[in-house]
Structure 1
Amino acid sequence: MTKMNLFKKSIKNMEDTMKAKIITIALLLTGSVFLNGCEQEGPAESAGEKVDETMEEAGEKMEEAGERAQEATE
């Protein structure tokens, strides 16, 4: 190979390496943006959690009431 062909091949390899690094950085940044968005809790999610807690408490109280009713009939 001539020196010019070696030089062109070297430049091509550097370009490919740079492209790979840019793509990797872009993917990492995109992923971090999506993950950051998932961590933030909105008002709908907060309200849903409160509803879940309330329903769970109500279920526990109904279970306790059923147990007391069963004990009273024994």
Structure 2
Amino acid sequence: MLLHLWHVQRNWSGIGYHKVIQRDGAIENGCPEFWPGAHVRGHNRNRLGVCLIGRDEFTLGQLDSLERVLT
């Protein structure tokens, strides 16, 4: 996964998100769900880190996938 490599290249241990949702709605795994993430300082324990690729507007496919991940 390119996002994991991007994090490693910056001397981090790896991706801090548990799930990454691509623009087409594809759900990719990041770090294992039983690991604390590294996505929100001070709020990583007992939280699921989800990243939607994009900036301002997300696709319907992403929003559908986000709902599946959260349920």
TM-score computed with the length of structure 1 as normaliser: 0.18
- Higher normalized contact order (CA 8 Å, seq sep 6+, divided by chain length): 2
TM-score computed with the length of structure 2 as normaliser: 0.18
- Greater C-alpha Rg: 1
More strand by share: 2
More helix by share: 1
